[in-house]
Amino acid sequence: MTMPPPDLHTVELFGVPRLLAGARAAEAVGATLAELAADLARRVPALSGPVLDPASGWPNAGYAFVVGERFTRDPAHALPGDASILLVASVAGG
């Protein structure tokens, strides 16, 4: 039986990221948000450009991750194996 990589996470997508990806969630690998973002950009190319920087995979201005119910744009943020991760617009509203 093949085990998933230890740093495999499900990233829930909301708003524009969800529309572009055509999915509610995507899987990506990373021990930190920077690693996860870069892998997410590779796995979901539709996000690269409008949401994620094509070179680094890091979220463009206006987008952030929510890890364990806390907004963060810290690329060094460590991700525990059971982390709840969302990719959302930084500002919600009208």
Task: Compute mean pLDDT per 10 residues along the chain, 94 residues long, and list them.
Answer: 74 96 96 96 96 94 94 94 90 53
Decide if 7 is inside a domain. no
Domain that residue 93 falls in: 13-21+58-94
Q: Residue 36 domain-assigned? A: no
Q: How far apart are CA 54 and CA 49, in angstroms?
A: 5
Asked if residue 31 is part of any domain, the answer here is no
User: For residue 10, what pLDDT is reported?
Assistant: 96
Look at residue 4 in the predicted model and tell me its pLDDT.
59
Q: If 0-12 CB within 10 Å is exposed, 13-18 middle and 19+ buried, where does residue 14 land?
A: middle
Tell me how far apart the alpha carbons of residues 7 and 84 are, in angstroms, rounded to a whole number.
13
Specify whether the backbone of 57 is left (phi greater than 0), alpha (psi in -120 to 50) or beta: left
Per-residue pLDDT, 94:
41
Alpha-carbon span 39 to 16, nearest angstrom: 19
Per-residue pLDDT, 82: 86
* Structural domains in the chain (count): 1
Asked, for residue 30, whether it belongs to a domain, the answer is no
* Residue 3 resides in a domain: no
Residue 84 lies in a domain: yes
77 is a domain residue: yes
Tokens, residue 76: 């060094």
Entry pTM: 0.88
The pLDDT assigned to 45 comes to 97
Judge contact between 24 and 17, C-beta under 8 A.
Answer: no
In a domain, 91, yes or no: yes
